[in-house]
Each structure stands twice: as C-alpha cells, then as structure tokens.
Amino acid sequence: MKFRHYLEQRIRVIFLNIILFIFFGSFMFTLYDSFSLLLLMGGGWFIILFIYFMISYSQLKHQYDKIERLVDDLDQKYLVHEIIEEPRLLEAKAYYYALKKGSKAMTDQVSEARRSSKEYQEYIESWVHEIKTPIAAISLLCDNTQNKELKQQVNKIDQLVEQVLFYARSDNTQNDYLIKETTLEEMIHQSLIDFKNLILGNHIHLEIHDLDQTVYTDEKWIHFILNQILSNAIKYMKDEPRELMIYSEKHEYNIDLIIRDSGIGIAPQELPRVFNAGYTGDDRKKDHATGMGLYISKKLCDRLNLALTVDSKLGEYTCVKITFPIGKVHQFNQES
C-alpha cells in the first residue's frame, strides 16, 4: 500500500481541515491582524496533521503487509478467515463478517468436493479391480485358442481400463508411488513385452541402444507412461518404413529417454496441444482415440519431477522424450 493511496482515501479529512483552517485563520487574523501568526498557526496545524497521517499510515501499512504475507504464505487461500484477526474498526467488522461467512461456505464446499472425489476414486478402483478378472479370463481363452486378433482387442480393452485407473489416481500420486533405482533397459523391456505381438504382427523394425543407464522413478507409473507412448507410436505408424527407435542420451544433470517412430507425424500447429485433455488432432487417424493418454502421462511426469516433451515432423516422425534427473537433483538440461 502506497502513501498516495492512503491520502486519496482521506481526501475528505484533508478538505475538512483546510476549511477549518480557513475559518479559524480568518477569525484569528481579524482579532490580531498578524500575518506571521497566521503562518505560524497554519504551519503547526498541518505539521500536526501530517504527523498524525504518518503514524496512522505506518500502523495501517504494517497491518496491511502482515495480512498480505499471511495470505501469500497460505497454501489453501479459502482458510484465510482462520488467520486474520478480527478488526477493531467498526467499519471493517462488516467486511470481516462477510469474509468469515464466505470462507466458511467455501471450506464446506471443498470438504464436500474432496469427499465426493474420494468416493469416485474408490468406486473406479473397485470397478477396475472387478473388470480385470473377466479381461484376464478372456485373454487366457485367446491364448488357448490362439486367436491373435481377438487377443489384440482384449489387450486394447485392458489398456483403456488401465488408463481410467491412472486418470482417477493422477491427482493423488503422492500416496501411491515408490521411488527406487531402476534401469532404462529394464523399464523398456517390461513395456515391450506388452506390445510384443503388435510389434511382430505389424512387422516393425525395432532398434534399441544405449539403455544401460540407472534412474530413480516409480516403476508402476513409468510403465504406464511408456505404454501410452509406445501405443501411440504403433497406432500411428506408416506403412513404410515401419521403424521404432529407443535410446538414451546422458547429460550433466539428466538422462533423456527417447522414443522415435517413423509414423505419420504431427502437424506443427497441433504440437502445443498434444498434452491437452481429449485432444486427438485434426489430421491423425482418430479411430477409437481418446486424447487422454499423453494428457495423463504429462500429468504423472510433472508429479514425478520428470520432463515430457514431443517433437515431430508431419509425414516423417514423432519423437517423445522423457527427461530423468540424475540422482536426487531435479534440474533439467536447458539445451535438451
């Protein structure tokens, strides 16, 4: 709060003092006919008024800055009524009452929203757990009958069910992940097993190298992220060439895991929107696309302190990069 703003709020007081000074000054000048006395009286009058303003401004600014700091440091702003003291000024009590009532109503709504969100998440997790049983049974029947086409469709269903589960959990990853040491090679190997039939069935040339790097992350969450990336790479693969490259690059502060496909690519105007929820693009094949895979993956990467970026050239390639910090230093290479 600036002193100029303080004076603007007290323009009536200043105007009233000027009127009073003119009245009493005229009266004193009539009695004593002394211009010097008038100047002395005016100087004393406005010096006292200025001192009063400075003291009042200092106290008000201290209180203003205190409230501003408390609010800025508060993570949950709707709880502001709990930290602000009740004002002494009668004119401020009405605003304090309105703030307290409004914040209380907001607190109740937030609590209700959290309760509903928790119930929804528990329902989704229960539903996924139940639906996994028939999916596993159908998958086993496909293996027994060697029906590869039906097996692929069952795998797609399983991936979509997993996507629902991870989306439901994406806002509460802090309660569901375990950071531990693993290798890029092991992570990629686990994901490639899930897409083995698709890769072989689509005659995709797979090139893997430089994956002997150790990183720290949650295996379950990164497995989901990698599966979303590989699923897109295979889904949008061109007829020729059909190539998929997976490799890593090590920098001073981070390690980049790079997945590059020779697919149909992404138009330049679409690249900034690939992480938007529900965005499927204008030129890409949209059959059964949800537009949620990369959105959830980006959300999970942010919570795991990983960087996820996409580079592409329409009709040539798409390159997805996951950046892992080395050790516990969450610092990304600015050149990568």
Buried b (16+ CB within 10 A) or exposed e, 118-153: eeebeeeeeebeeeeeeeeebbeebeeeeeeeebee
- Indicate the pTM of the whole model: 0.65
61 pLDDT more than 90: no
The 10s digit of each residue's pLDDT in 66-79 is 777 777 777 776 67
CA–CA separation, 267 vs 211, rounded Å? 30
Spatial contact of 259 and 320, defined as CB atoms under 8 Å apart = yes
Higher-confidence residue: 294 or 102?
A: 294
Q: What is the pLDDT of residues 96-153, one digit of tens each?
A: 788 788 878 888 888 888 888 888 888 888 888 888 889 889 888 888 888 888 888 8
Kindly report, residue by residue over 5-34, the tens digit of the pLDDT: 777 778 888 888 888 878 877 877 777 777
User: Which residue shows structure tokens 């502001």?
Assistant: 80
pLDDT-derived band at 334 (thresholds 50, 70, 90) equals very low
> Strands, E, within 22-169: which ranges?
none
Residue 154 has pLDDT above 60, yes or no: yes
What value does the mean pLDDT take over residues 286-291? Answer: 61
Query: What's residue 88's pLDDT?
Result: 73
Segments of the chain assigned to CATH 3.30.565.10: 181-336
Checking if the pLDDT of 331 tops 70, the result is no
Helices 219-235 and 293-303: crossing angle, nearest 10°? 150
pLDDT for res 288: 55
- Name the CATH architecture for the domain at 181-336: 2-Layer Sandwich (3.30)
Residue 212: closest CA among 178, 180, 245, 188: 188
Q: What is the pLDDT of residue 197?
A: 83
Question: Average of pLDDT values for 267-280?
Answer: 86
Q: What is the pLDDT of residue 175?
A: 59
- Rounded Cα gap, residues 160 and 310, in angstroms: 22
Separation CA 292–CA 297 (nearest Å): 8
